[in-house]
Amino acid sequence: MSILGVVLLLISSSKVINVYPTDIAPQIDGMIEDLWLQADSAYDFIQYEPYENTDPQQPTAVYVLQDDDNLYIAFRCYADTHAPIACFTKDEDNVRVSIDPFGSKNTGYYFLVFASNLIWDGWVLDDGREWDDSWEGIWYRAIGVHDDLLEVEIKIPFKSIRYKKGLDEWGIQFMRYTAKTRETDYWTGVNHAEGELVSQWGTLKGINPKSTGHYFELYPEGYVRVDEHWYYDDTDSINIKPSASLNLKWDVTPQTTVNATAYPDFAQIESDPFTLNLSRYPTYLNERRPFFIEGTDIFHMSGFGGWGFFEDLELFYSRRIGRSLNGEAIPIIGGLKVTHNSQDWNLGLLGAYTGQHEEHDSVIEPDRGFGVFRLKRSIIQGSDIGLLFSGTMAEKDNYNYAIGIDGAMRKGANQLLVQGAMSDRNEMRDFAFTSGFHVLMNKWRVFGSAAAVGDSFDVNDVGFVPWAGAQQYMLFTGPVLSFPHGFLRQCSAHLGGHLTKEPGAVDYSYAGSVEIIPEYRNRWGNDISFNFGKAYEADTSYTSRSFNLSTWGNLFGQIINFGCWYGYTYNYARGYPAYQGSNWFTLSYSILPSWSTGVFINHWIEWDTTNTIISMMSRVRPNFFFRFTANMSLSLFSEFVTLTPESDFNETELYSIRPGLLYTWNFRPKSWIYIALNDYRAQDATGDLQHQYMIGAVKVKYLLYF
């Protein structure tokens, strides 16, 4: 970083805005009235891109007020040279406020408002290294779009967030994005090498929430689901399933929350996409169920926010609860979760109970209980230590649990993580350890990791650590260069290698790697990497090599992403080392402000040991998306999976097809109507395309709160 960048960063990190009380609540109508002029304001923004640490092209002013129950924020974004862009289906102007109401310098909330009135909200975790949009809060906004001005008003009830009681200074950050010039401005300076860190946000001074009472949310849910299944003997069955569930959330204090659910509807409205997995490890599936999503800021060990050189010890993997067996979800009877956030301590308790699952009058999954306990303590600014316990039991001699400790030392972009765990599955015990670090010193980056998982380490019933018996060591280094002028905004390069011992192998595999990541001023970028080394796995040794190219960007206001990966590695589906390849392409295109279409394409290629193509599979997922209002949408989608023997496209077969639709209406805060349809057909054992099932569901979720 340049000397000017350091100076700007030091100055910006000490920024303070005072929040003054008001007896008259401002009207949230998208017009900033004179009442706001009594507030303190943030106005000296700093450009992040396309030109880092420079003055913005257009000024921005942000005003902050409070009363006993609410925090109010108003953005006035001047646009003298071009009108703000508001469009549901393409790149548009937006603003964001982020707050750290715990004084943690590590965790916070964010509230993002688009010029079209769409919103996003969520958690900021691990000092800004991870952003989680799973949290859904109750807050209000209004937009005023003019030819030369964008005005945004936001109202955040104190009852809808957690905060440290008695703390009169919160961390705060403001952001403005201008779609026409693709410019991003922050109130406190952010540099590309480090990214936006919670520990470097400014200070909101004089905050004084006075909300009283207990904030209580009740979610009665009703749904009707129609399942029609077809069988190979040409018979079918139709099952109409009306049902109801009850969910509640109780903020016992501003820092402590209780969540409970009874007979929840955890049916997946949209199925997990098809993927071709040729590795020895299972595919990781993201969580989509609200009860498990909320509180993820507590029930996870600290990480690097998606950097591929570090694998977490994920001792709690919520998809194990109510998992799918042969296409049927194991029923969840109920769940209870207690979470507590404070400036120094985070605490989480989770319990769930699932019913048995039968097939052909035989119990293949018994009743099972799950329990998770998490405790985390802040020790130094941005650093913490923690303890995590997770376990499940079906019977006295059928159990699985793990206990782990973790620590994270952070200072700016520099970070050191350590995780260790012990597992016990039916009296079979073993240990696992992983550690990683990242250091940024004057335009030079060094990072690496070390991991060792015992042969008998097993959390498969409650967590996701499938690489039992593996050892891995990585070390990379290289420059991180920023360019104040020209088409190239930043370029980083990493040179290093890794040493890996696969489960069951006697010898270590080793490889060298080179990665180059240029990022351009027009918000395009590339990730190019090469790997070459010697591999030992599955009683086989071979020379491994791979090439990866990823490209992303903004094309006429549309998001585009495409790339490829080709490598010579072990094909566990075939049982030998050979070439493999995958290609992908993603594009979303705005036809009208309320109508867009998109396509997601994946194409996999397999070779045999003679370097002859033996199979190709493709997944094409077209979709049409209609946004009627900011709170109502309709998505029509389909997934086509094709199989091509060798490279003969004339013999391409349709392997499966899954069309569907999803209608959603957020008719009041946290209250939704869903209408969903999925129709799945796939090849049977003889290669014929057969109807597997059709599922239709109507679901109503209604929030009662007081």
Calpha distance 574→615 (Å, rounded)? 11
What DSSP string describes 206-258?
A: S------S-EEEEEEEEEEEEEEEE-TTS-EEEEEEEEEEEEEEEESSSSEEE
- 360 pLDDT band (50/70/90 cuts)? low
423, pLDDT greater than 50: yes
Domain at 181, CATH number: 2.60.40.1190
- More confidently predicted of 295 and 213: 295
Model pLDDT, residue 289: 75
Calpha distance 617→22 (Å, rounded)? 62
> Range of 80's domain?
3-205
Alpha carbon distances (Å) from 706 to 27, 210, 213, 672: 22, 16, 9, 18
Calpha distance 198→207 (Å, rounded)? 18
Q: Which of 21, 63, 32 is nearest to 142 (CA)?
A: 32
Q: Which of 161, 107, 14 is nearest to 383 (CA)?
A: 107
Q: What percentage of the chain exceeds 70 in pLDDT?
A: 94
- Is 243 among the domain residues? no
- 442 pLDDT band (50/70/90 cuts)? confident
- Is 84 among the domain residues? yes
* Overall number of domains in the chain: 1
Calpha distance 699→270 (Å, rounded)? 14
CB distance 40 to 19 below 8 Å: yes
What DSSP string describes 546-611?
A: EEEEEEEEEETTEEEEEEEEEEEEEETTTTEEEEEEEEEEEEEEEEETTEEEEEEEEEEEEE-TTS
pLDDT tens, residue by residue, 446-474? 999 999 999 999 999 999 999 999 999 99
- Is 101 among the domain residues? yes
Bridge partner residues of 8 (DSSP): none
Phi, psi of 557 (to 5 degrees): 80, 5
State the average pLDDT over residues 197-225: 85
Q: Give the H/E segment covering residue 10.
A: helix 3-12
Token digits of residue 529: 């990497």
State the average pLDDT over residues 330-355: 90
167, pLDDT greater than 80: yes
- Is 214 among the domain residues? no
Q: Which of 104, 95, 151, 142 is nearest to 123 (CA)?
A: 104
Calpha distance 281→434 (Å, rounded)? 18
pLDDT tens, residue by residue, 134-148? 788 889 999 999 999
- 214 pLDDT band (50/70/90 cuts)? low
- Is 649 among the domain residues? no
Token digits of residue 524: 């395009």
DSSP assignment letter at 35: G
Model pLDDT, residue 5: 44
- Is 461 among the domain residues? no
* Lowest-pLDDT choice from 232-246, 385-399, 486-500, 634-648: 232-246
**Residue 237: is it exposed, middle or buried by C-beta count within 10 angstroms (0-12/13-18/19+)?**
exposed
Q: What percentage of the chain exceeds 90 in pLDDT?
A: 61
- Is 151 among the domain residues? yes
**Single pTM value for the model:** 0.84
Token digits of residue 672: 């939704």
Q: Is the peptide bond before 50 cis (omega within 30 degrees of 0)?
A: yes
Q: Which residues contact 235 (CB under 8 A, 6 or more apart)?
A: none
193, pLDDT greater than 60: yes
304, pLDDT greater than 70: yes
- More confidently predicted of 307 and 617: 617
Phi, psi of 12 (to 5 degrees): -65, -30
Model pLDDT, residue 67: 95
487, pLDDT greater than 50: yes
- Is 184 among the domain residues? yes
Model pLDDT, residue 265: 66
pLDDT tens, residue by residue, 514-528? 999 999 998 899 999
* Lowest-pLDDT choice from 67-71, 129-133, 207-211, 533-537: 129-133
State the average pLDDT over residues 379-401: 91
State the average pLDDT over residues 296-311: 79
pLDDT tens, residue by residue, 537-596? 988 999 999 999 999 998 877 889 999 999 999 999 999 999 999 999 999 999 999 999
Model pLDDT, residue 342: 79
Calpha distance 452→470 (Å, rounded)? 6
For residue 686, the tally of other CB atoms under 10 A from its CB is: 7
Most confidently predicted of 14-23, 260-269, 278-287: 14-23
Phi, psi of 8 (to 5 degrees): -60, -40
CB distance 543 to 531 below 8 Å: no
For the chain, the average pLDDT equals 89
Model pLDDT, residue 268: 45
Angle subtended at Cα 518 by Cα 516 and Cα 519, rounded to the nearest 5 degrees: 150
**Residue 645: is it exposed, middle or buried by C-beta count within 10 angstroms (0-12/13-18/19+)?**
middle
